[in-house]
């Protein structure tokens, strides 16, 4: 394999190509405990929308996404839904922070094990232009989660 | 086909490796590369002649002024303007459009007036009009784009005849479709109805012969950096009669006739629209770029671009799942092709191509409404200029085949 193919394979690992071709948890959620937010990358026009349903303790009972984008943004969204499903708000926020640390390399990852398959996105670090692709769905999920927990507090 | 491959030696930047491969620069529609002749002109200017223009009496200022104004005359001749006074230097196409959308529109548009634009405009010839319409209470109406990437000319004509239309703005060559619009015909229809016209020539000038008087437009805009000149310099052509009725834009030095504390009077065009110290080096560079292009011959550059793009369109048909936007061959188009690939998003494809030394553009190309029209989030675009070769086009097609294998 040529050197540049190795670098490409680093970015486009099999798990990423698999999730980009067959994204999990696509669709919408509707109901009283469902929260929705939209992520938009003006540089490329990509959009990802995230819906999540929170339980009585604020845990993420279900999560779905819709949108169009590159392999990185689609795979990241798909893997994210698997990782966040069932998570408490605290665990979800820890995961979000760790994922951010993973793709930016700005700080150390706290709990690599919790990231699981998401570790495949570490290659994004070497492609700074793509960090926004990888984090697009995560920003939307964070916003949706904030809505959920704010509503949870006020009710 | 004219062989311009020996011209590659004029472009120092082309002779480098990217990702271990020879650079293949296919993004000239975004910005062109610069020949040694232009780079040398900038160095010469800064090393020998640099001074402010129009206001010094010393030798250097005289030299700078002389060269600066000589370029204005050169530009006028290059685009077929009747007079050098119709050439206003701007920062680029975007600034040219904004100047008209602010000064002309604010002065002439009334609530209820209509601006006619098209569905294939670059954001820089779209958003300024939306802003102007908002300010003036005018409305922007858009000519639809047909499936083959051409304008719906019947709809355009009908829109013009609806009444209340004060301005028509239209791109000469689409940066996403490659479509060459029949701007002379369109401007003739508009002129007959007393409608002012602006043509965005960012992808036309330097690629094909452009004659603003033959087109018959009131305004024509283009950028230097897309035609081998430095970034930061562009041209707004305005027909003398139209410019004469426009108030100034920015206030400052250079544009005034006389200034008192009670008020000021202003120079005529072009000085009226060029407040402050201009990008003198940029203008000198633009002049050197025009000399360079004319040394080759715009007709020759055009023939080379046509031959290259038509051959490339044929070859692209061999790539599985690839769809090219814009007029199908053999219709003449700008020397660019934007395409979508079923198996890969433009960002992924451009990333892939980059590792093979290819510089492509991926995304919406600042034409989001057009991308929506064709049901794509974005496209990948290969655009050629005089320094590109058939071998490079072949390599593009080869890499696209590899990308299909990689992403499928």
Q: What is the average pLDDT value for chain B, to the nearest integer?
A: 96
Residue in the block written with tokens 């009009």: B129
Q: Is there a contact between B362 and A17 if contact means CB atoms under 8 Å apart?
A: no
What is the residue extent of each domain of chain A?
A: 3-154
A60-68 and A46-54 beta bridge pairing: antiparallel
Are B75 and B109 contained in the same domain? yes
Burial class (CB in 10 A: 0-12, 13-18, 19+), B8: middle
Residue A125 has pLDDT above 50, yes or no: yes
Q: Identify the CATH number of the domain in which residue B390 sits.
A: 3.90.1150.10
Q: Which residues in chain A are contacts of B348 at CB distance < 8 A?
A: 12, 70-72
pLDDT digits (tens, 9 = 90+) for B288-338: 999 999 999 999 999 999 999 999 999 999 999 999 999 999 999 999 999
Boundary of a domain, candidates B294, B312, B337: B294
Residue pair A50/A63 in contact by the 8 Å Cβ criterion: yes
Number of structural domains (chain B) is 2
pLDDT band at A154 (very low <50, low <70, confident <90, very high): very low
- What is residue A71's predicted lDDT score, i.e. its pLDDT? 93
Boundary of a domain, candidates B262, B294, B326: B294
Residue A1 has pLDDT above 70, yes or no: no
Are B303 and B286 contained in the same domain? no
Q: Which residues in chain B are contacts of A4 at CB distance < 8 A?
A: 19-21, 355-356
Flag whether residue B30 sits within 8 Å of chain A, measured between CB atoms: no
Q: Is there a contact between A45 and B352 if contact means CB atoms under 8 Å apart?
A: no
Contacting residues for B357 by C-beta, under 8 A, at least 6 apart: B17, B18, B19, B20, B21, B22, B23, B24
pLDDT band at A3 (very low <50, low <70, confident <90, very high): low
Are B100 and B212 contained in the same domain? yes
3-state secondary structure labels for all residues of A63-83? EEEEEECCHHHHHHHHHHHHH
Residue pair B31/B361 in contact by the 8 Å Cβ criterion: no
- What is residue A6's predicted lDDT score, i.e. its pLDDT? 77
Q: Which residues in chain A are contacts of B368 at CB distance < 8 A?
A: 45
pLDDT digits (tens, 9 = 90+) for B205-227: 999 999 999 999 999 999 999 99
Q: Is B366 a catalytic residue?
A: yes
- What is residue B215's predicted lDDT score, i.e. its pLDDT? 98
Percent of chain B scored above 70 by pLDDT? Answer: 100
Strand extents, DSSP E, B133-289: 139-143, 165-171, 196-200, 219-223, 234-238, 256-259, 264-266
Fold of A3-154: Sufe protein. Chain: A (3.90.1010)
pLDDT band at B138 (very low <50, low <70, confident <90, very high): very high
The Cα angle at residue B139 between residues B133 and B142, in degrees rounded to 5 = 110
Ramachandran assignment for B194, one of left (phi > 0), alpha (psi -120 to 50 degrees), beta (any other): left
Q: Identify the CATH number of the domain in which residue B256 sits.
A: 3.40.640.10
Boundary of a domain, candidates B294, B327, B352: B294
The partner residues of B222 in beta bridges, in order of sequence, read B235
**Integer CA distances (angstroms), B336 to A39, B8, B126, B393, in order:** 31, 19, 21, 11
Flag whether residue B378 sits within 8 Å of chain A, measured between CB atoms: yes
Q: Which domain holds residue B257?
A: 39-294
Residue pair B193/B225 in contact by the 8 Å Cβ criterion: no
Flag whether residue B248 sits within 8 Å of chain A, measured between CB atoms: no
Q: Is there a contact between B348 and A68 if contact means CB atoms under 8 Å apart?
A: no
Q: Is there a contact between B355 and A4 if contact means CB atoms under 8 Å apart?
A: yes
pLDDT digits (tens, 9 = 90+) for B172-199: 999 999 999 999 999 999 999 999 999 9
Are B323 and B270 contained in the same domain? no
Are B146 and B193 contained in the same domain? yes
**Per-residue tokens: B393:** 């086009």
pLDDT band at A151 (very low <50, low <70, confident <90, very high): low
- Give the gap in angstroms from C-alpha B98 to the nearest C-alpha of chain A: 21
- What is residue A2's predicted lDDT score, i.e. its pLDDT? 60
Residue B113 has pLDDT above 60, yes or no: yes
- What is residue A153's predicted lDDT score, i.e. its pLDDT? 46
**Per-residue tokens: A61:** 């009972």
Are B376 and B330 contained in the same domain? yes
pLDDT band at B377 (very low <50, low <70, confident <90, very high): confident
Are B367 and B394 contained in the same domain? yes
CA–CA dist B337, B191 (Å, integer): 32
The partner residues of B117 in beta bridges, in order of sequence, read B142
- What is residue B57's predicted lDDT score, i.e. its pLDDT? 87
Residue A152 has pLDDT above 70, yes or no: no
Neighbours of A27 (CB within 10 A): 10
Report the complex ipTM: 0.86
Residues 352-371 of B with CB under 8 A from A: 352, 355-356, 362-364, 368, 371
pLDDT digits (tens, 9 = 90+) for B253-284: 889 999 999 999 999 999 999 999 999 999 99
**Using CB atoms, which residue from B20, B348, B363 is nearest to A3?**
B20
């Amino acid at each position: 394999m040529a050197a540049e193919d190795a670098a490409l394979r680093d970015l486009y690992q099999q798990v990423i190509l698999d999730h980009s071709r067959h994204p999990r948890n696509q669709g919408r959620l509707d109901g009283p405990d469902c929260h929705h937010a939209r992520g938009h990358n003006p540089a490329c026009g990509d959009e990802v929308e995230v819906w999540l349903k929170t339980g009585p303790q604020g845990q993420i009972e279900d999560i779905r996404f819709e949108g169009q984008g590159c392999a990185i943004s689609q795979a990241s969204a798909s893997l994210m839904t698997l990782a966040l499903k069932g998570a408490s708000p605290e665990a979800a926020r820890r995961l979000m922070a760790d994922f951010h640390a993973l793709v930016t390399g700005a700080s150390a990852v706290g709990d690599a094990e919790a990231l699981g398959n998401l570790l495949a996105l570490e290659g994004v670090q070497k492609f700074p232009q793509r960090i926004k692709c990888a984090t697009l769905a995560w920003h939307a999920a964070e916003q949706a989660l904030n809505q959920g927990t704010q509503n949870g507090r006020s009710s | 086909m004219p062989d311009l491959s020996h011209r590659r030696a004029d472009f120092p930047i082309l002779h480098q490796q990217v990702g271990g491969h020879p650079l293949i620069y296919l993004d000239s529609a975004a910005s062109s590369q610069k020949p040694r002749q232009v780079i040398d002109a900038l160095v010469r200017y800064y090393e020998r002649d640099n001074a402010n223009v129009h206001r010094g009496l010393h030798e250097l200022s005289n030299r700078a002024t002389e060269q600066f104004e000589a370029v204005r005359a050169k530009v006028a001749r290059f685009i077929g303007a009747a007079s050098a006074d119709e050439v206003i230097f701007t920062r680029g196409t975007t600034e040219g459009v904004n100047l008209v959308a602010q000064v002309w529109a604010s002065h002439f548009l009334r609530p209820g007036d209509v601006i006619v634009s098209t569905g294939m405009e670059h954001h820089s010839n779209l958003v300024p009009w939306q802003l102007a319409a908002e300010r003036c209470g005018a409305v922007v109406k858009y000519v639809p784009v047909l499936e083959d990437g051409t304008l719906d000319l019947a709809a355009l004509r009908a829109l013009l005849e609806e009444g209340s239309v004060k301005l028509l703005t239209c791109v000469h060559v689409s940066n996403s479709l490659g479509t060459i619009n029949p701007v002379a015909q369109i401007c003739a229809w508009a002129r007959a109805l007393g409608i002012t016209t602006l043509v965005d020539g960012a992808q036309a000038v330097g690629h094909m012969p452009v004659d603003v008087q033959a087109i018959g437009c009131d305004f024509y805009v283009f950028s230097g950096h897309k035609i081998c000149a430095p970034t930061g310099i562009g041209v707004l052509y305005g027909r003398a009669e139209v410019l004469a009725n426009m108030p100034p834009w920015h206030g400052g030095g250079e544009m005034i006739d006389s200034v008192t504390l009670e008020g000021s009077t202003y120079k005529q065009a072009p000085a009226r629209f060029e407040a402050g110290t201009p990008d003198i080096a940029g203008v000198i560079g633009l002049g050197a770029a025009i000399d360079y292009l004319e040394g080759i011959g715009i007709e020759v550059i055009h023939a080379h671009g046509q031959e290259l793009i038509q051959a490339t369109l044929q070859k692209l048909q061999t790539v599985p799942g690839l769809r090219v936007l814009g007029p199908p061959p053999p219709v003449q188009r700008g020397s660019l092709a934007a395409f979508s690939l079923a198996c890969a998003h433009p960002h992924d494809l451009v990333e892939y191509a980059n590792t093979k030394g290819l510089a492509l553009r991926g995304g919406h190309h600042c034409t989001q409404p057009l991308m929506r029209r064709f049901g794509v989030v974005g496209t990948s675009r290969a655009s050629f200029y005089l320094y590109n070769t058939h071998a490079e086009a072949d390599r593009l097609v080869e890499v696209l085949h590899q990308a299909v294998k990689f992403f499928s």
